[in-house]
């Protein structure tokens, strides 16, 4: 007796093996008639008259399905699957169950990935992949439609409708793809994605599941530990709220942690200006809340110029400056992984960013990269769109596609519109440009001066407290796809040193809220 793998079809009338004939069958049906009366969806899969001639009616029960395998009485012999060459245990040594559920839950991921659980197209795939030179043994009683993809449209339609009754659908063949000329469009089944994930876990290629901390403690906690590959984070705020300061400090924290390199693209400042800010930041961050020994940003420029004037030589050594040396030594520990780029209105397009990041990945291997864009509305689009809304839509879509296609976290600063600058409290809908900003971003962080958005009840009877609020910036998580949103955090600003106190805390005071509804 042989067992032949057939397309996995649910059994609308499951019956024990011991039952001789299905209920409702004709009074004296032949084996083939009884088979089709109980399982109408099997019609068209071939004629079993040859098997019926060698077997009596009483000895032939309706063929049950067990783990995707069907009884085949066309011949006698060892129980083997002729189509995929899988050995089946002898029934005398291991009795087969009387009723089988083809949609039983898999015991494990390995069981789920096993060939028997991969659907109706597994047989054809295995035959092509595992045995390219020799064709499998053909069983004349089983048509080709029962192996791999059904060839008869009537059969395929019956199969699909039957599977739909059980909440499952037959998948397309492995060659379901379209060549667009630019790329191959190839949908992947959930099983294929799961297999890819299993292989990544097996070799430890799980970087996209490891968040990259931003170094701002309460913020990292709120967004699930940091940024992940493919995520787009936007930092918005009015002028002077510390958007660039926070972004540069995040970049510094990432490379200092050693988990990734950073590419910081700035359209407003050149590389040396950004480095001056980092020097001022490093001079004080390790001492906060004390500022003793820190070098203010305006003093950094004086010290650089004073070093050259003091030595009065062509080979002046900046590292000999006693005030700058501690900060320079700290920068030297991570500086090789922090890349600064002056953005250009003619060359720093989304396409060129994509090529630049792709080149980095070729050169660095497995080293992760986080990209910062300062700021979004300055990214050039060539040719220039007619409206700013169209331009911003193109940019934000391009940045999100860049993050997803290259598996990089991306942080971009976003400017506010005129209404946002006038509003009592800036919100995500005040970001300048298209509403696509709010849809494409995974995380939106809005910065506001605490003094401007704290409720009046907190300051009207305590002028000293009101003055203290000027030293804090509130970072509101307006959108967070990976966790809780509408979270208000506050960080003490030290803008003279171009940094924040990254420890931060949750806001305790009541804030103004313009989202009020009148009944």
Please say if the pLDDT value at position 63 is more than 60.
no
Residues making up the chain, counted from first to last:
519
Domains of the chain as residue ranges with CATH: 2-165 (no CATH), 226-506 (3.40.50.300)
Average pLDDT over residues 114-137: 44
What integer pLDDT is reported at residue 315 of this predicted model? 79
Residue whose token pair is 């699957």: 81
Give CA–CA dist 73/57, Å, rounded: 12
Distance from chain centroid for Cα 66:
37
pLDDT class of 170 with cuts at 50, 70, 90: low
Which of 17, 121, 120, 143 has the alpha carbon at shortest distance from 71? 17
Which of 451, 413, 417 has the alpha carbon at shortest distance from 433? 417
Burial of 194 (0-12, 13-18, 19+ CB in 10 A): middle
The SS3 call for residue 418 is helix
Contacts of 272 (CB under 8 A, 6+ apart): none
Average pLDDT over residues 354-373: 92
State the DSSP H helix or E strand holding residue 478, giving kind and residue range, or none if neither: strand 472-480
Read off the tokens for 383. 């040719």
Burial of 273 (0-12, 13-18, 19+ CB in 10 A): middle
Higher-confidence residue of 424 and 386: namely 386
Q: Residue 371 gets which letter from DSSP?
A: E
pLDDT in tens, 386-396: 999 999 999 99
The H-assigned helical ranges of 223-296 are 243-257, 271-285
pLDDT class of 110 with cuts at 50, 70, 90: low
pLDDT in tens, 364-376: 887 899 999 998 9
Higher-confidence residue of 461 and 48: namely 461
Read off the tokens for 113. 């990935």
The beta-strand segments (E) located in 269-418 are: 338-342, 369-374, 410-414
CA 464, 469, 473 angle in degrees (round to 5)? 170
Which of 83, 77, 82, 375 has the alpha carbon at shortest distance from 247? 375
By the 8 A CB rule, do 214 and 472 touch? no
pLDDT class of 172 with cuts at 50, 70, 90: low
Average pLDDT over residues 77-96: 44
Please say if the pLDDT value at position 126 is more than 50.
no
């Amino acid at each position: 007796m042989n067992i032949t793998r057939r397309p996995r079809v649910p059994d609308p009338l499951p019956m024990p093996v011991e039952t001789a004939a299905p209920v409702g069958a004709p009074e004296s049906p032949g084996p083939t008639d009884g088979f089709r009366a109980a399982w109408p969806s099997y019609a068209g899969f071939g004629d079993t008259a040859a098997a019926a001639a060698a077997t009596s009616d009483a000895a032939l029960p309706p063929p049950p399905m067990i783990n995707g395998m069907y009884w085949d009485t066309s011949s006698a012999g060892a129980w083997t699957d002729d189509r995929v060459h899988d050995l089946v245990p002898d029934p005398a040594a291991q009795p087969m169950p009387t009723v089988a559920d083809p949609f039983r839950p898999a015991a494990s991921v390995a069981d789920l990935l096993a060939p028997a659980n991969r659907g109706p197209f597994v047989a054809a795939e295995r035959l092509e992949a595992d045995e390219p030179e020799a064709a499998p043994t053909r069983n004349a009683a089983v048509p080709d439609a029962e192996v791999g993809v059904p060839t008869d449209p009537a059969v395929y339609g019956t199969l699909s409708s039957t599977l739909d009754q059980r909440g499952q659908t037959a998948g397309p063949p492995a060659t379901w793809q379209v060549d667009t000329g630019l790329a191959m469009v190839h949908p992947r089944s959930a099983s294929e994605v799961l297999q890819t994930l299993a292989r990544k876990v097996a070799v430890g290629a799980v970087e996209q599941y490891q968040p990259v901390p931003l170094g701002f403690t309460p913020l990292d906690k709120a967004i699930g530990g940091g940024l992940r590959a493919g995520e787009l984070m936007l930092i918005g705020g009015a002028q002077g709220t510390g958007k660039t300061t926070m972004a540069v400090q995040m970049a510094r924290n990432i490379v200092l942690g050693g988990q990734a390199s950073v590419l910081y693209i700035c359209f407003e400042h050149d590389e040396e200006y950004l480095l001056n800010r980092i020097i001022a930041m490093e001079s004080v961050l390790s001492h906060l809340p004390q500022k003793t020994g820190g070098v203010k940003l305006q003093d950094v420029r004086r010290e650089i110029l004073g070093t050259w004037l003091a030595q009065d030589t062509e080979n002046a050594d900046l590292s000999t400056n006693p005030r700058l040396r501690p900060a320079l030594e700290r920068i030297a520990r991570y500086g090789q992984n922090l890349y600064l780029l002056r953005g250009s209105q003619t060359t720093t397009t989304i396409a060129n960013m994509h090529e630049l990041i792709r080149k980095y990945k070729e050169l660095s291997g497995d080293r992760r990269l986080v990209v910062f864009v300062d700021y979004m509305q300055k990214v050039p689009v060539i040719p220039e769109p007619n409206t700013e809304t169209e331009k911003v839509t193109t940019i934000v879509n391009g940045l999100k596609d860049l993050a997803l296609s290259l598996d990089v976290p991306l942080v971009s600063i976003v400017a506010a519109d005129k209404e946002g600058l006038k509003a009592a409290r800036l919100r995500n809908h005040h970001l300048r440009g298209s509403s696509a900003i709010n849809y494409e971003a995974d995380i939106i962080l809005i910065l506001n001066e605490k003094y401007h958005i704290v409720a009046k009840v907190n300051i009207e009877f305590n002028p000293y407290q009101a003055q203290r609020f000027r030293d804090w910036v509130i970072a509101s998580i307006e959108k967070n796809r990976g966790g809780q949103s509408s979270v208000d955090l506050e960080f003490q600003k030290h803008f003279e040193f171009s940094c924040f106190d990254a420890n931060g805390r949750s806001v305790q005071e009541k804030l103004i809220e313009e989202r009020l509804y009148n009944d």
